[in-house]
Amino acid sequence: MARQKDAFYFDGFRRSADYACQAAKLLSEVMHDFNPGQLRERMDGMHAIEKSADEVRHDMMDELVTAFITPFDREDIVELGHVLDDVTDSIEGVLNRMYYDNVTDMRDDAVQMSDMVVRATESICELVNELPRFRHSKTLRELVFAINTIETDADHLFIESMRTLHTTCTDPLQVFAWHDVYRHLEQCSDDCERVANTIDSIVMKNS
């Protein structure tokens, strides 16, 4: 019975990571084939993903209320569920801001940042898949390091993108809009790193 309960949480983490990856890929598709007239429709698709991710987290929290045995500390389960959900929320936030800040043209560095988020969420999926066997995993720490590296690279790109924006764009409304979008793209990478660091902390506490 204990193993069945453990599987419930690990499956929930996997599903949450998968929704984050779906959201990242949708955002990347929007940016690669940018059409401002389709943003409203794309937002609906993104919100459906975010809503499904919320349901997974709520199911895990409901189960946790009555659980007697858990695979690791309750507060760690809550925290991991929370930071995984944050990734999907932040990705949805980027698309929302592109819509209500009226972004009309795509910028190449923003596309690069969105692709970094895709890579980070794909690594999160791999990382979460390793979690049930963390004591014997040969790749878990490598995946944590890979996500940390993506976040560092995204920080550097964010700085250069902001510099280019403020030195080349002459439309103040678009400067404002892209400042908002870039900041939230960078937040996506930060949130991915939080997932990696949370899992790393759980592993260290339970090894």
- 16 confidence band (pLDDT: 50, 70, 90): very high
Domain harbouring 157, CATH code:
1.20.58.220
Based on its alpha-carbon atoms, the radius of gyration of the chain, rounded to whole angstroms, reads 18
Q: What's the pLDDT at 4?
A: 56
Average pLDDT over residues 8-26: 95
Helix axes of 74-100 and 2-32: crossing angle, nearest 10 degrees = 20
Quick: pLDDT tens for 22-71: 999 999 999 999 999 999 999 999 999 999 999 999 998 888 777 767 77
CB count, 10 Å around CB of 172? 8
pLDDT at residue 202 tops 80: yes
* pTM for the predicted model, two decimal places: 0.93
Tell me which of 66-70, 75-79, 137-141, 166-170 is least confident: 66-70
pLDDT at residue 1 tops 50: no
By the 8 A CB rule, do 80 and 202 touch? yes
- 11 confidence band (pLDDT: 50, 70, 90): very high
The set of residues, in sequence order, having a beta carbon less than 8 Å from that of 19 and lying 6+ positions away, is 49, 50, 52, 53, 56, 88
Quick: pLDDT tens for 86-138: 999 999 999 999 999 999 999 999 999 999 999 999 999 999 999 988 777 88
**Structural domains in the chain (count):** 1
Gap between the Cα atoms of 78 and 34, Å rounded: 36
Instruction: Tell which residue, 68, 92, 72, has the closest CA to residue 20.
Output: 92
Q: What's the pLDDT at 5?
A: 63
Q: What's the pLDDT at 2?
A: 40
Q: What's the pLDDT at 138?
A: 82
Average pLDDT over residues 140-150: 95
Q: What's the pLDDT at 3?
A: 55
Q: What's the pLDDT at 65?
A: 77
More confidently predicted of 50 and 74: 50
Direct distance between the N- and C-terminal alpha carbons of the chain, in angstroms, rounded to an integer: 23
- Domain of residue 58, residue span: 1-206
